[in-house]
Amino acid sequence: MIGIGIVGAAGRMGRAIAAELSGRDDARVTATAERGGDLDALARGANVLIDFSSPDALPAVLDAARGAAVPVVIGTTGLSAAEHEAIDAAAREIAVLQAANMSLGVNLLAALVREAAARLGPGWDIEIAEMHHRHKVDAPSGTALLLGEAAAAGRGITLAGHSERGRDGIGETRAEGAIGFASLRGGSVAGDHLVVLAGEGERIELGHRAESRAIFARGAVQAALWLHGKAPGRYSMNDVLGL
């Protein structure tokens, strides 16, 4: 029985992970933490940490995991380049799995997008649209960026150099080879993503709809079980899912 410590336990995902764990016999919640909680104590009492909170929690979460030498699954999105570097640094000492989306479907979709972008070439325009619930704080979603990275990798370009976000006004025609993003917010949507590859006279649409947060919670628990006992390093859901 693997003991899981949840960071961000009172949030939408924290509650979904606790619900997932309550129905399993291979892992259980040992402790939970919220903003202001004792992360060192949480880490000492757990075999693996799962963090779905906010980017500002990341330094303390990584320090606590290192201090207790426990692996950590990071599902929080909206991470900066400096925060990704902090994950890389921690991964030299402990096993860290960071994924902007924990679902099998989205990670498979990313592989399909990469393949499509590689085969179709730069004459096809790529646009990524996403919709999430009204409370989401980061835009574009971490999953939209994950899909954008997959498209860029397929094309052999960097997303940072080709991303187009937030078009508004006159003179906003897309640059050749750009990967565009559009974000919709409203209601209780768990997460919809659509990747459009638009050529002259035809278009391909590859999409995913999350019907509930349970898919992310299940993936996060699967990732935690997989990560337990792994050597230090940075891992992704592709490693867990064998994609």
Cα–Cα distance, 164 to 18 (Å, whole number) = 37
8 binds ligand NAD (CB under 6 A): yes
Residues 78-97 that bind ligand NAD (CB under 6 A): 78
33 binds ligand NAD (CB under 6 A): yes
Tokens 């939970």: give the residue.
Answer: 32
71 binds ligand NAD (CB under 6 A): no
Q: What ranges in 2-57 are assigned the alpha helix state H? A: 12-22, 39-44
Q: Which range in 22-30, 31-39, 150-158, 193-201 contacts ligand NAD by CB under 6 A?
A: 31-39
Cα–Cα distance, 229 to 151 (Å, whole number) = 33
Active site residue 136: yes
Among 76, 94, 181, 222, binds ligand NAD (CB under 6 A): 76
Residues 210-229 that bind ligand NAD (CB under 6 A): 216
The sheet that has 2-7: what strands, in order across it? 27-33, 2-7, 48-51, 72-74, 95-98, 233-235
Cβ of residue 39: shortest distance to ligand NAD, in angstroms? 7
Cα–Cα distance, 216 to 236 (Å, whole number) = 14
Residue type, 168: D
Closest residue (Cβ) to ligand NAD? Answer: 11
Active site residues: 132, 136
Residues found near ligand NAD in the complex (CB under 6 A): 7-8, 10-14, 33-35, 37, 52-54, 56-57, 75-78, 99-102, 138, 142, 216
